[in-house]
Structure 1
């Protein structure tokens, strides 16, 4: 077994699960964090990610990324960084795989629609809904609701982007049931998972944007980090067609960002004299971080991607249509709950805010294509941009 650094979480030191479970090896010799990872992989919510938007809404091309493939790519990067830093690979991988489970159909467009629909009932937040899904809605076990994940896993999912001063209702409910110390920084595994997410989508969205024809190489070369990387791969592979070089550029950028994260995090751990997991949580700041130069380059790339891909007119048109689908479904179900499947209709609370939140739970669990199908079934035809 690989040795874990003093600042890495261990299953032996885990704070355990809300519902105690009998130890044993009936289902194989796995520790608590390995079981967390496996519970995520075997969950219905994880399987649904294969038909949920990453960048392109309900893409009709087989080669575009979706939430599922994105999560797998994040997990690969997270494992690599975790191993180099000597922290827990299994916990890091589990956090990476689960981090997007709370996203509704159509990504941020769907989230905005649910947030507006629930404005009088506390709103909607995909991160809080991840915790709600894994602690309440995804319930394959007969003895309790949820997957009964470890405290360490729930803590990492709740605050992988840092402490939370004012949690939204879903996260507040999870915290009330099993206090997650929301005011403190999370484990290094959670911090690494958050940056592995950034590294993955910063680079893989370039690939998808080029494939969709919404980005061009000339546009990308206006970004200093990309221009520098492009010159390096051209020099390394002279005479090779640009299409072949683009894959090498993206691989090289992922490697450069991961290596920078590893080196700078090691320096941060040393400078802060971190000697335990408790030291990580008590540090008062994020310890897993890029160098100043890489952080600014990464922000520059994000600004470019928002201006040229995420806010591209074609993307905005698709997002507007997606918003209409989710908003229309919520209005239809709120007006006539009999339109929902029997199982969801039977469990519908009588009083607000839980009545509306229950309807949002149903919609948030939909895949892109199921949401479109349900809209057409319960409301009627809808004109959707090409690509749906």
Structure 2
């Protein structure tokens, strides 16, 4: 993998000529960040569940606030790592690429962090499960309508692949190229750069999959332009782009620590336990001397939430520092595609506190009754919405009964692909349903089920 070819300013849907120039003071990668921030799909994340139900009285993280915080951590990681690459590999880099690593890598990483969850449906992972399960449970009626590759996409529906689709596809009546982001940014969110039939849980870059058949050619272009290493052509699979490891580390750091803080604020866990777990991280990564200084500051804080916030900040800082050190250590393996352990898991191997927090969170947070209740409810809402629209869209206009015609009338125009094949028609429904916020999905479900009847203007 050529480290001079990891950046690409090429954008989906735009064909630049070599003489084309723009007068915008922003770099191409700063423009990416702004495009995501102002996009509708990003704004919708404010009403999508991260882990906990979205209560009115106590603020907890949703997908949008989580993504903003991941972007902040990613920016720090990208800045330190960019300076490292520009210095350590100065003899191999062109002057232009030295500048890109020093002054643009952190923009690429922070933008990729912003949109890393943009393909996740409402209700967290239960929304993903509902979409995959719908096709599993209705295989006898649906399977024969699709090719083996298309059917595999549906059976293994994945938010990561859906993110690439949302960011690159041309919706009906909308602009070519979707969000029109640079190929570097798009490559940086591809944790699993393979098609669905290439999935292999024992290989880090193939634990899930990263693009639907509908975006396969687009992804090939992204991979080629950003120097991704082809593993195999059939089924199609690549090694991860080196920037992916940074985005993944930022995400892992945030959700492992922030979920703990949210659980404490909601009263799921005791504040003292939360403090002790965060203390362990600081001591194991930075040692007792650092903890002594932290404790001196902590002793001056009385409010329990403020104490946790302070320890959270120090813990994240420690994890950022260690992530940078490990990225440097394993950089040669990363660019060759041979590393098979995430940066965060490498930290976990030497920091017992990380494993303790994961086990504690699984027992006391992710299996808390309120979390399980929202996952059950979300699964049913998403499943029933698909069941309302998919059978209708698969019939021709002439074959549809009255209620089926009315179901199709509820689908916004940009998600209707009546002139295309069954695969594209169903993807349009998935686009519609997976893009819904928790509230919108619940509201529509209640209305089509007759639970709420009345006029909405």
TM-score by length of 1: 0.82
- CA distance in structure 2 between the aligned counterparts of 1:58 and 1:337, rounded to whole angstroms: 34
The answer to whether the 8 Å contact 1:58/1:106 transfers is: no
- CA distance in structure 1 between the aligned counterparts of 2:39 and 2:188, rounded to whole angstroms: 19
Question: Is 1:146 aligned to residue 178 of structure 2?
Answer: yes
The answer to whether the 8 Å contact 1:82/1:192 transfers is: yes
Q: CA deviation at 1:221?
A: 6.2
Closer, same or farther: CA 268–112 of 1 in aligned 2, 3 Å: same
Q: 5 Å matches for 1:73-152?
A: 73-86=69-82, 87=101, 88-119=105-136, 120=139, 121=151, 122-123=154-155, 124-136=157-169, 142=175, 144-152=176-184
Question: Is 1:20 aligned to residue 15 of structure 2?
Answer: yes
Closer, same or farther: CA 360–141 of 1 in aligned 2, 3 Å: closer
Q: 5 Å matches for 1:179-194?
A: 179=220, 180=223, 181=230, 183-194=237-248
Question: Unaligned 5+ residue runs, structure 2?
Answer: 83-100, 140-150, 194-203, 224-229, 231-235, 284-290, 392-403, 453-457
Q: CA deviation at 1:363?
A: 0.5
Closer, same or farther: CA 147–51 of 1 in aligned 2, 3 Å: same
Question: Is 1:257 aligned to residue 319 of structure 2?
Answer: yes
Q: Deviations over 1:21-62 (max 9, x none)?
A: 353325x13333223222222221111111111112343246
Question: Is 1:173 aligned to residue 214 of structure 2?
Answer: yes
- CA distance in structure 1 between the aligned counterparts of 2:35 and 2:29, rounded to whole angstroms: 10
Once the two structures are overlaid, the 10-residue window that deviates more, 31-40 or 197-206, is: 31-40
SS in 2 for 1:64: coil
Q: CA deviation at 1:293?
A: 4.4
TM-score by length of 2: 0.70
- CA distance in structure 1 between the aligned counterparts of 2:334 and 2:32, rounded to whole angstroms: 22
- CA distance in structure 1 between the aligned counterparts of 2:173 and 2:390, rounded to whole angstroms: 27
Closer, same or farther: CA 166–250 of 1 in aligned 2, 3 Å: closer
Once the two structures are overlaid, the 10-residue window that deviates more, 292-301 or 258-267, is: 292-301
Once the two structures are overlaid, the 10-residue window that deviates more, 93-102 or 348-357, is: 348-357
Closer, same or farther: CA 177–229 of 1 in aligned 2, 3 Å: closer
Question: Is 1:320 aligned to residue 376 of structure 2?
Answer: yes
- CA distance in structure 1 between the aligned counterparts of 2:308 and 2:207, rounded to whole angstroms: 42
Closer, same or farther: CA 377–328 of 1 in aligned 2, 3 Å: same
The answer to whether the 8 Å contact 1:55/1:205 transfers is: yes
Q: Deviations over 1:107-138 (max 9, x none)?
A: 11111111111334423211110011111156
Tell me the matched-pair count.
364
Question: Is 1:363 aligned to residue 433 of structure 2?
Answer: yes
- CA distance in structure 2 between the aligned counterparts of 1:20 and 1:212, rounded to whole angstroms: 50
SS in 2 for 1:60: coil
Once the two structures are overlaid, the 10-residue window that deviates more, 107-116 or 130-139, is: 130-139
The answer to whether the 8 Å contact 2:12/2:168 transfers is: no
Residue 288 of structure 2 is matched in structure 1 by none
SS in 1 for 2:373: helix
Question: Unaligned 5+ residue runs, structure 1?
Answer: 1-5, 273-278, 383-388
